[in-house]
Amino acid sequence: MKILNLKTVTLLIVVSLFITSCNKSDTITEPIASDEAIAMAESEDISDEVNNFIDDYFAEEELVPIAYSGKGEGSEVICMSKTVVFDNTTKTVTLDFGEGCETPNGNFISGKIIFRYAIDRDVQSFTITYTFENFFFNDLSVEGENSIVRVKSNENQNPQSTVNVDIKVTWPDGNFASRKGTKVREWIEGYDTRTYGDNVFLITGNWTATFKNGTVISATVIEPLRREMACRFLVSGIVELHKNEHSGTLDFGDGSCDNKAMFTTEAGDEIEITLRGGRMK
């Protein structure tokens, strides 16, 4: 009987070690791949471009008496129609890009952005909610409902938006990323003119992206991202990425306008990546 018990205990120990080993191997993840880094960068580009349209609307329609002060000779025309509907104290705005048109910085947009907010010109800050209808950024589908707390003048006397992001971006091959988080966009240049191309923003914040295969990657801005509307891409700033126990960084450059970024792996390897305008391999 003692021999049998010893054999049983030994077997249980072996089985337990095997199960533990299997469980550990199941949680092992691959390091962040360059394609994943590109997807993170592209999803940020989409989110930011949408916020640009909304900011531009408020600069032109709501902040004219404060910011423009008669400067400029009219805002730049992009191929979209704008519909405004009043409902008591609420305004609903639809930016309709139709079947598609090219923006001044070279992106191709189609579909609608619809946003709502309370009408009160005297408040310092207000909340905007926005959704999408059949909206495409280049060839990527965008869905979701988001909110923005907009401050007309922050401590630097600049317009600022705190954006609660909740969007789903789908690539043409069926891959997708659901992106959630918060970012702060400070409008540091160009808000006192009607010229789209001189607008400059600094962006901070953090967010996570969940991909179709279940992979979750988090991103934190560790050096503010600089967005110049004369350029299609972010021109500088650094984002730190985390995927379980793995990490890496995305560096968007020194201020030059190009579609390049430097992805640094946790091992210190530097990989130059090309932002593809919306496609995963």
pLDDT exceeds cutoff 90 at 43? no
pLDDT tops 70 at residue 8: no
Q: Are 124 and 152 a contacting pair, CB within 8 Å?
A: yes
Contact 97, 122 (CB under 8 A): no
Determine the Cα–Cα distance for residues 115 and 94; give it in Å rounded to an integer: 7
Tell me: pLDDT of 1 over 70.
no
pTM summary value: 0.79
* The predicted structure's pLDDT at residue 277: 54
pLDDT of 244 > 80? The answer is: yes
Amino acid at 33: A
* Mean pLDDT, rounded, for 181-191: 92
Which amino acid makes up residue 94? T
Cα separation, 218 vs 209, whole angstroms: 6
Maximal C-alpha separation, the chain: 98
Cα 5 off chain centre by: 60
The dihedrals phi and psi of 20, each to the nearest 5 degrees, come to -60, -40
Written as one letter, the residue type at 1 is: M
- Token pair recorded at residue 161: 């938006």
Mean pLDDT value across residues 152-156: 91
DSSP letter assigned to residue 64: I
Task: Tell me the sheet residues that pair with 137.
Answer: 109, 140
What confidence tens digit (pLDDT) does each residue in 69-126 have? 333 333 454 678 899 999 888 999 999 999 988 887 788 899 999 999 998 767 888 9
Query: Average of pLDDT values for 156-170?
Result: 93
What type of residue is 191? Y
Please, are residues 117 and 125 in contact by the beta-carbon 8 Å criterion?
no
